[in-house]
Structure 1
Amino acid sequence: MRRKGRKQKEVRTLPNVFHGKPEEISDSLVKYFRNEKPLVLELGCGNGEYTLALAQKFPDKNFVGVDLKGSRIWTGAKKALALSITNAAFIITKADRLHLIFNKPVVEEIWIPFPNPFPLRKSIKQRLVHKRFLDVYGKICLQEAKIHLKTDAEILYQYALTVIEEEKLILVAATDDLYSSDLYKEENTIQTKYEQQHIKDGKSIKYVCSRLQ
């Protein structure tokens, strides 16, 4: 617990981690990146494993990992600094507050790799592909921005497809077995520690890509 507390305190002092007043974070990110490269978000980034892998694969874009738990972000933020990955940063906030940070459309893509599927009906509104989150994404995303979901949970995969249809989103691609499909492309070659364990356990990886407009 003491170690977790130290991480929570230290992470807020790191130059690539942003928190506090929403209206100040966006400006701080601009100053940090110092360029106009496309902006990509990873929601529920945890230790930042996916954010950093994307940043290394695509140096022509800026990547921002978003998570409420600063102690989780600490690992990725420290690694980014150690490896001089300058096109990756992190925000400590809830996903449903992103429209307060980005008060105009600036996001080109959103990645949601292996989020909590919240399988219980009473928790459906917590799913990051629920309509209430899509409303937020609609406020911060550029026209034709893509939303990528990767999951091992069939219930979340099917729910995402249902929401896309009900909300009249554009379905770009979908598969219930990513690594056996022709959708296995460069951006989908990243496998986190947890994903590797899912595959080892014999679970198929589902992937959905959609557009808001």
Structure 2
Amino acid sequence: MGHKKLIRFRAIEGFRNVLQYPKHMPGTWHEFFQNNHPITLELACGKGEYSVNLGREHRNRNFVGVDIKGNRIYNGAKIAIQEGLDNVAFVRGQIDHLNEYFAENEVSDLWIVFSDPFLKKPKNRLTHPRFLKLYQQVMKEGGVIKLKTDSRELYDFTHEVIAEQSCSIVEDIQDIYSKGKATGALAIQTFYEKMHLAEGRTIYYLAFTLPAHPIVVPERRKKEAEEDAAAE
């Protein structure tokens, strides 16, 4: 591990807005924020650009960025502290352990922004049914999942999952910039988005809600996961 990363890992240990593998937190987030405002998650948040920018614009909501890489979280956490954004926090932890960090009905909605599309390992995509099943355990009914990506593969895959799980599409934009839809929250640009736009890539946006019935991972998706595991 590089010297710079070590410095950042040590630094976040003292940041009041960073919690590492916080299994003691389910059901207590409103005590942490000292309010009863809705909680929005940013999954695979990287440097936390969405959490920070949304926190600036919506002081009546709480935002929690989740990522395993503490050296990236450091950036957003430091900015939030410097700007006094008490409605922004970060969790260093595994997304597939989300139900160990949040309680049932504790999350209002969530963002998935330029996450790894895992082209060779569909089971790791954050819109795979195994993840939707996990989100269903912590989200309020009717909470919106918002995907912003430059990956046509991930966008199409998510459409397939939405159809098979009977999710409801809230908004579907195949090219937010050509259609003049890069406004409000969609105008926030992460480090990766700026890089992708410079390369001329198309940016997709898909927002949807989970069904009222429990998410069930289809056998063919389970088989995909087994094949992925065997190939590792």
Specify if TM > 0.5: yes
Shift of 1:185: 3.8
Matched, 1:193 2:176: no
Amino acid at match of 2:199: D
Match of 1:10 in 2: 11
Match of 1:55 in 2: 55
Query: Aligned partners of 1:28, 1:104: CA distance in 2, in Å?
Result: 11
Q: SS of the counterpart of 2:85?
A: coil
Match of 2:146 in 1: 148
- Per-residue CA deviations over 1:99-120 (Å, capped at 9, x if unaligned) read 1122211111100000001111
Match of 1:33 in 2: 33
- Per-residue CA deviations over 1:134-172 (Å, capped at 9, x if unaligned) read 001001000100000000011011001111001111111
Amino acid at match of 1:8: F
Cα contact 1:107–1:140 (8 A) shared by 2: yes
Shift of 1:26: 3.4
Cα contact 1:41–1:65 (8 A) shared by 2: yes
Shift of 1:9: 2.1
Matched, 1:130 2:128: yes
Shift of 1:10: 1.9
1:53-202 mapped onto 2 (5 Å cutoff): 53-120=53-120, 123-181=121-179, 183-202=181-200
- Per-residue CA deviations over 1:6-47 (Å, capped at 9, x if unaligned) read 21122122100112441x123563333100001000000111
Amino acid at match of 1:53: N
Match of 2:229 in 1: none
Structure 1 stretch displaced more, 176-185 or 88-97:
176-185
Query: Aligned partners of 1:93, 1:148: CA distance in 2, in Å?
Result: 20
Query: Aligned partners of 1:29, 1:6: CA distance in 2, in Å?
Result: 28
- Per-residue CA deviations over 1:177-200 (Å, capped at 9, x if unaligned) read 012336444121111122122112
Task: Give 5+ residue unaligned stretches, structure 1.
Answer: none
State TM-score, norm by structure 1.
0.93
Equivalent pairs: percent with the same residue?
A: 35
Shift of 1:96: 1.0
Cα contact 1:14–1:77 (8 A) shared by 2: yes
State TM-score, norm by structure 2.
0.86
Q: SS of the counterpart of 1:143?
A: coil
Q: SS of the counterpart of 2:136?
A: helix
Cα contact 2:108–2:143 (8 A) shared by 1: yes
Structure 1 stretch displaced more, 85-94 or 4-13:
4-13
Q: SS of the counterpart of 1:158?
A: helix
Q: Give the aligned length.
A: 210
Query: Aligned partners of 1:210, 1:183: CA distance in 2, in Å?
Result: 17
RMSD of aligned residue pairs (Cα, Å): 1.4
Cα contact 1:44–1:66 (8 A) shared by 2: yes
Task: Give 5+ residue unaligned stretches, structure 2.
Answer: 212-232
Structure 1 stretch displaced more, 136-145 or 24-33:
24-33
Cα contact 1:18–1:28 (8 A) shared by 2: no
The ranges of structure 1 where at least 4 consecutive aligned residues each deviate by more than 2 angstroms after the TM superposition are: 25-32, 180-185
Cα contact 2:111–2:146 (8 A) shared by 1: yes
Q: SS of the counterpart of 1:107?
A: coil
Amino acid at match of 1:49: E
Cα contact 1:19–1:25 (8 A) shared by 2: no
